[in-house]
């Protein structure tokens, strides 16, 4: 899950990632507020990691690493 804090990223760009599901909470944007999240699914671990890398870059989480999942 990739959280959207403060503002929503570009939905159109995010939905280009296969297996990405967009969750907009309908809240007003403001600093520090969780306004939504995205989840990513894939049929296998290698594709999941590739999709997460793509999504993280598009959604403003460029520092994301597989170690966040305990996979290092």
- Tens digit of pLDDT at every position of the chain (72 positions): 889 999 999 999 999 999 999 999 999 999 999 999 999 999 999 999 999 989 998 888 777 776 666 666
**How crowded is residue 49: how many other Cβ atoms within 10 Å of its Cβ?**
16
Q: Is 44 exposed, middle or buried (0-12, 13-18, 19+ CB in 10 A)?
A: exposed
Are residues 64 and 53 in contact, defined by beta-carbon separation less than 8 angstroms? yes
> pTM for the complete prediction?
0.83
Q: CA triplet 22, 25, 28: central angle to 5 degrees?
A: 125
Residues linked to residue 37 through DSSP beta bridges, in sequence order = 3, 23
Helix (H) or strand (E) holding 20: strand 20-24
């Amino acid at each position: 899950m990739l959280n959207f804090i403060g503002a929503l990223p570009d939905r159109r760009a995010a939905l280009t990632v296969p297996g990405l599901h967009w969750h907009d909470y309908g809240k007003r944007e403001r600093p520090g507020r969780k306004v939504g999240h995205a989840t990513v699914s894939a049929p296998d671990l290698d594709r999941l990691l590739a999709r997460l890398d793509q999504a993280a870059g598009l959604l403003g989480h460029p520092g994301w690493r597989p170690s966040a999942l305990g996979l290092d």
